[in-house]
């Protein structure tokens, strides 16, 4: 387990993944501690003045017009956390909550929030102790930050509410902190507000989706290549000179991956044999164009994520010249748009994969394969219903591709009258990524079986490596009908764990 050091200049995507998924430990740099202390001095000085300063000595949102006297300010900070911890619905996944907390800590350590060093250290201590606040599915509009989710995290910091211990059991947060030797925080001016006001939840989910989709797009290139091979298609359409004249980088990368997988195959190039055809169907011939457009979408989303990872998102913010200024940097639009964009690209990739699977199963379009890849068609149904499952997943992905960020519901007595819905965009993208994994797994299952049914023709070495790895993972090959769900579950686990890429790359070299 390695250590992630948080400074003042943001964190990287690999830092987020290490903390969220691998349980990496967190340390605060000396620079961050100094910046925290310097910013806190500014807040303390403003708190001592008679003039009201938003977030320091006033109420919040539509209640910002009330000046709060010094003796009520600690209560004000506690109250904003308690009242904003209003989430409902299922518990959010542990990795999402850890990413959420870590990214809030990243902004706190920027020195622009006015939070004391001991508050930041307690946040790190809770993460290091494996304590995970209970955060609920619903409660964020993606503007003024992911308010309810972050409030549930701040509640744990205060020793209140519920949290999940290192053993996965949900218990009162105060008990878990006491067992870990962590003293709950007594919040002071601005600190409650600073812990709630960020895009951290949607950003954390974006970072994790990008990591998952990067592997999935490579896996989809491989499954598309195997489908082309099983359908006796031509690999001539993958020639680099064809893709160079339409210079989208993602398209060229996908075509190169497919070509590398197909190198040495005896199955490609038979499209002019017994039933000559001029061209392969779009789902086969245009695979690099569709997957490539998705890859370019990933690149754009990655740029947005990198900018946000370097940002300090809070309102108001403490500036180096001593000013504390209100702003709108908490608005989630930049992140929400790319979350929605990725859901659209993922839905289209799932859709084209399903079309190739359907083609493999249709005896009128599969160029000599048995109906539904069945052992004894009529007695056996083969993979007929596996394609039904795939179609159901694609249909849901199309619904999930409807953008959340195009919606806005005003809140806070019309003070917050335009919101991003970025949290909702992130939540549905997670479902889309899960569905896409299953869809690729079903295409892979069908394509490997179809290749094995092409007797007398030797697949490409890379294809053979994938087939062998899939079989070793417990996914059975051709044969009479059997209970199919365990095979599909094993194929899904294989794709989800990166097994496709791991099987291919020793033969092809690193995929693009």
Give the integer Cα–Cα distance in Å for 470 and 489. Answer: 12
Token pair for 225: 């290549």
In DSSP notation, 55-83 reads TTSB--GGGTTSBPPGGGHHHHHHHHHHH
Residue 430 structure tokens: 């997670």
Active-site residue, selected from the candidate residues 54, 138, 337, 445: 54
Q: Which neighbouring-strand residues pair with 163? A: 133, 171
Q: What interhelical angle do 147-157 and 200-230 show, nearest 10?
A: 120
Q: Is 184 exposed, middle or buried (0-12, 13-18, 19+ CB in 10 A)?
A: middle
For 330, half-sphere exposure in the C-beta direction (CA atoms, 13 angstrom radius) is 27
Residue 472: burial class (beta carbons within 10 Å; 0-12, 13-18, 19+): exposed
Sole residue written with tokens 């993922």 = 346
Give the whole-angstrom CA distance, residue 130 versus residue 133: 10
Maximum separation of any 2 CA atoms in the chain, in Å: 90
CB 386 within 8 A of CB 484: yes
Helix (H, G, I), strand (E, B), or coil: what is residue 27? strand
Peptide bond into 359 cis (omega under 30): no
Identify the DSSP state of 410.
-
Question: In the numeric block, which tokens belong to residue 22?
Answer: 């691998």
Task: Judge contact between 254 and 295, C-beta under 8 A.
Answer: yes
Q: Are 194 and 115 in contact (CB under 8 A)?
A: yes
CA distance 388 to 357: 10
Task: Let me know the angle formed at the C-alpha of 146 by 143 and 147, rounded to the nearest 5 degrees.
Answer: 95
Q: Quick count: other Cβ atoms within 10 Å of Cβ 99?
A: 24
Let me know: does 92 contact 135? Beta carbons within 8 Å.
yes
Q: Is 388 a catalytic residue?
A: no
- Continuous H helices in 231-248: 240-244
- Residue 189's nearest CA partner among 288, 89, 80, 97 is 80
Cα 353 from chain centroid (whole Å): 21
Catalytic residues: 54
């Amino acid at each position: 387990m390695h250590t992630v050091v948080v400074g003042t200049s943001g964190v990287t995507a690999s830092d987020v993944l290490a903390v969220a998924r691998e349980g990496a430990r967190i340390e605060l740099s000396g620079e961050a501690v100094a910046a925290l202390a310097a910013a806190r001095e500014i807040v303390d000085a403003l708190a001592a003045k008679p003039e009201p300063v938003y977030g320091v000595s006033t109420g919040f949102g539509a209640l910002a017009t009330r000046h709060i006297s010094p003796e009520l300010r600690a209560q004000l900070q506690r109250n904003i956390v308690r009242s904003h911890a209003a989430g409902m619905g299922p518990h959010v996944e542990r990795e999402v909550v850890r990413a959420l907390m870590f990214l809030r800590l990243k902004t706190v350590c920027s020195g622009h929030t006015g939070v004391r060093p001991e508050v930041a250290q307690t946040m790190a201590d809770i993460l290091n102790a494996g304590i995970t606040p209970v955060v609920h599915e619903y409660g964020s509009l993606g503007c003024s930050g992911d308010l309810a989710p972050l409030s549930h995290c701040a509640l744990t910091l205060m020793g209140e509410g519920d949290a999940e211990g290192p053993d996965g059991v949900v218990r009162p947060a105060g008990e878990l902190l006491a067992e870990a030797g962590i003293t709950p925080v007594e919040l002071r001016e601005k600190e409650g507000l600073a812990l709630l006001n960020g895009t951290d939840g949607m950003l954390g989910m974006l970072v994790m989706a990008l990591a998952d989709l990067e592997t999935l797009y490579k896996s989809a290139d491989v499954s598309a290549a195997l489908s082309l091979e099983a359908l006796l298609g031509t690999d001539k359409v993958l020639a680099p000179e064809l893709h160079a004249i339409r210079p989208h980088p993602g398209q060229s990368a996908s075509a190169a991956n497919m070509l590398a997988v197909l190198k040495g195959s005896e199955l490609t190039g038979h499209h002019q044999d017994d039933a000559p055809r001029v061209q392969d169907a779009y789902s086969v011939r245009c695979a690099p164009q569709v997957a490539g457009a998705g890859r370019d979408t990933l690149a754009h989303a990655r740029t947005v994520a990198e900018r946000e990872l370097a940002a300090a998102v809070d309102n108001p913010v403490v500036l180096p010249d001593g000013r504390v200024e209100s702003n709108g940097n908490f608005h989630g639009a930049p992140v929400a748009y790319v979350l929605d964009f990725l859901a659209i690209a993922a839905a289209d990739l799932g859709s084209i994969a399903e079309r190739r699977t359907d083609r493999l199963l249709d005896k009128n379009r599969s160029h000599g394969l048995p109906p539904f890849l069945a052992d004894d068609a009529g007695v056996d149904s083969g993979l007929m219903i596996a394609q039904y499952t795939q179609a159901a997943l694609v249909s849901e992905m199309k619904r999930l591709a409807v953008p959340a960020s195009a919606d806005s519901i005003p809140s806070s007595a019309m003070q917050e009258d335009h919101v991003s819905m970025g949290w909702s965009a992130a939540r549905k993208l997670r479902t889309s990524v899960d569905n896409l994994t299953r869809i690729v797994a079903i295409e892979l299952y069908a394509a490997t079986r179809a290749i094995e049914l092409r007797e007398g023709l030797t697949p490409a070495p890379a294809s053979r490596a994938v087939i062998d790895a899939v079989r070793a993972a417990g996914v059975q090959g051709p044969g009479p009908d059997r209970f199919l769900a365990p095979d599909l579950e094993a194929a899904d686990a294989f794709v989800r764990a990166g097994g496709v890429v791991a099987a291919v790359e020793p033969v092809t070299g690193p995929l693009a």
